Amino acid sequence: MTRLAPQQISSTDAQYPPILKTRLGTETPARITAIGSLDVLAAPLTALFCSSRCPGNAILNAASIARNWRDEGRGVISGFHSPVEKECLRILLRGKQPIIICPARSIDGMRIPAEWRPAIESGRMLLLSPFPAKTRRPTTALCEQRNQFAAALANAYYFPHARSGGHLETLAAQMDD
C-alpha cells in the first residue's frame, strides 16, 4: 500500500530492511521513516552519488546513464541533492523504475514536490530517512550519514564524479573494498 503519511519502522519490525543491520552493524538506525511503498526496497538498487561541483563531461555521462537506467527499469537510490543527482532524478521520473530518495534530514512534515506525487502514488517511489523528526536541516555530517545509509541498501554504486579529497571519494573507496 502506498502511503503519503510518514510511517515509522522500528529495527524490530518485520518491514525493516535486514540488509541495514548486516551492513551498518552498530550504526544501524533504531528507526527509519518512510513515505511511499516499502515494496520498492525489494528491487535491486543502484546508488547514485555525485559531488556538487562536477565537470561537464561527467554531467553529460550521468544524464546518459540515467536515461539508460530509466529505459531498462533499473531501481535507483540517492539523496538526489547535488545538481547532477537532481538532473538524474528529473530523467528517472519519466520512467517506471523504482526510485528511493533519502534526504539528509527528517521526512516528517516534509512537503512532497508535485512532480514526485505520481511516482509515490503509483508505488514506485519511496522516501526513506534514518533521521528523527527534529532533524530539519541537512548538514555535511548528515549528508555523510545519509550516503552510508543509501549505500547500505544498494546492490551497485555509481559515482559520476567524486571531488578529490572529498567525502564521496572516501565513500567510493569504501565501496571498492
Span 4-29, average pLDDT: 92
pLDDT per residue as tens digits for the range 36-77: 999 999 999 999 999 888 878 888 999 999 999 999 999 999
Give per-residue pLDDT as tens, 139-171: 888 989 999 999 999 999 998 877 777 777 777
Residue that the C-alpha cell 512532480 belongs to: 115
How sure is the predictor about 176, in pLDDT bands with cuts at 50, 70 and 90? low
Q: According to the model, what pLDDT value does residue 19 have?
A: 94
Determine contact, residues 20/153, Cβ cutoff 8 Å: yes
Q: How far is 8 from 156, CA to CA, in rounded Å? A: 26
Structure confidence at residue 2 (pLDDT) = 47
Q: Which domains does the chain have, with CATH numbers?
A: 7-176 (3.40.50.450)
Q: What is the pLDDT of residues 30-40, one digit of tens each?
A: 999 999 999 99
Tens-place pLDDT, residues 87-120 = 999 999 999 999 999 999 999 988 999 999 999 9
Whole-model pTM: value is: 0.92
* Residue 134 burial class via C-beta count within 10 angstroms: exposed 0-12, middle 13-18, buried 19 and up: exposed
Say if strands 156-161 and 125-129 run parallel, antiparallel, or are unpaired.
unpaired
Mean of the per-residue pLDDT values of the chain: 90
pLDDT of the residue at 102: 97
